[in-house]
Amino acid sequence: MAVLTYRDALNAALREEMHRDENVFLMGEEVAEYNGAYKVSRGLLEEFGPRRVVDTPIAELGFAGIGVGAAMVGLRPVIEMMSMNFALLAIDQIVNAAAKIRYMSGGQIGCPLVMRGPGGAALQLGAQHSQAFESWYAHIPGLKVVMPATPADAKGLLKAAIRDDNPVVFIEGEMLYNMKGEVPDGEYVIPLGRADIKRAGNDVTIICHSKTVAPALNAAKTLSEEGIDAEVIDLRTIRPLDHETILASIARTNRVVVAEEGWGFAGVGAEVVDVIQREAFDALDAPIIRVHQADVPMPYNKHLEKAAKADATKIVAAVHQVCYRN
């Protein structure tokens, strides 16, 4: 087991899967000669050559569509988006083609594609570069949506995403790339659709994913000093959503906070809350509280930006609310 950054864990997953399967290739802006805008693809051009590590023009719709086409005829493209904000230009190909080809063709043609890149906010990148779009993709039947929060999960989930026969939207984070952690060597594949209990606890369940996992764990630490034992569930896969892990936790804790980076309106948390109210209504001892970005475009000013983002302080406050503590 080596200590790797999240970035290098992704790099290891790509390298291993490209060795394993000749059909896997990486395509996107600056992935080859520049070694990746965030260096996720560092060294891959040298190792695999320009046939399998393909620099593209700035044309997200076009190269996403070329990836979808290649996947329809049996290749396994990994399409890197420099930012999920730019992937909005490509969303027609993902939603109208990738997600529906299998259904529209009566099951004849699949689309084993991974579209990956950083989503959500970093620091002071302003309104157009700070958006979390996972709920947009998770809304679409036919897609899977995966969001690792740790280096080990990044490796294990990317390997699973590449091997999956469905189109997978794999959302990373600029603020996660430098995170270090232990990562199993070699064959380490985490099945999609399974949440992970990042911290076990009995008093309250904090459900989170991606960049809200670290603040949730920090919040849990603070809460433990107050005598509140929080369980932290990292969804890891947004679609399909792991109902079982969520419901099993709530059966013990009876109190829930749902945290996410993006906006609340029609967000991932809204779906999680719906599942809970339908399937665990009687287990709840308090209304569920959600923590999410303020319902405004992301401001540039650092104080305003901090005020807009979900963080550990806001999660702690939400837990106090569901535990009726002030």
Is residue 88 within the footprint of other proteins (CB under 8 A)? no
Nearer to other proteins, 69 or 299 (CB): 69
CB atoms within 10 A of CB 279: 14
Enumerate residues 183-222 that contact other proteins by CB under 8 A. 191
182: annotated active-site residue: no
Token pair belonging to 214 = 């670290």
Site string for other proteins, 144-183 (x = CB under 8 A): x-------------------xxx-----------------
Q: What is the DSSP string of 152-216?
A: HHHHHHHHHHHH-SS-EEEEE-TTTTT-EEEE--SS--PPTT--EEEE--SSEEEEE-GGGHHHH
Query: Which residue in the set 15, 42, 43, 61 belongs to the binding site for other proteins (CB under 8 A)?
Result: 61
Number of residues that bind other proteins (CB under 8 A): 42
Sorted by sequence, the CB contacts under 8 Å of residue 297 that are 6+ apart come out as 127
Which residue among the candidates 30, 129, 139, 320 is catalytic per the annotation? 129
Sorted by sequence, the CB contacts under 8 Å of residue 92 that are 6+ apart come out as 61
Smallest distance, other proteins to C-beta of residue 110, A: 6
Smallest distance, other proteins to C-beta of residue 73, A: 5
Query: Which residue in the set 33, 57, 186, 187 belongs to the binding site for other proteins (CB under 8 A)?
Result: 57
Nearer to other proteins, 45 or 71 (CB): 71
Query: Which residue in the set 97, 115, 235, 308 belongs to the binding site for other proteins (CB under 8 A)?
Result: 97
Residue 53 β-bridge partners: 26
Which residue among the candidates 16, 17, 29, 60 is catalytic per the annotation? 60
Pairing outcome for strands 2-5 and 180-183: antiparallel
Enumerate residues 65-84 that contact other proteins by CB under 8 A. 65-75
Q: Which helix (H) or strand (E) holds 146?
A: strand 144-146
129: annotated active-site residue: yes
Query: Which residue in the set 21, 47, 92, 285 belongs to the binding site for other proteins (CB under 8 A)?
Result: 92
CB atoms within 10 A of CB 199: 17
Q: How far apart are CA 42 and CA 257, in angstroms?
A: 38
Residues forming the site for other proteins (CB under 8 A): 25, 51, 56-57, 59, 61-75, 92-93, 96-97, 101-110, 112, 141-142, 144, 164-166, 191
Residues noted as catalytic = 60, 129
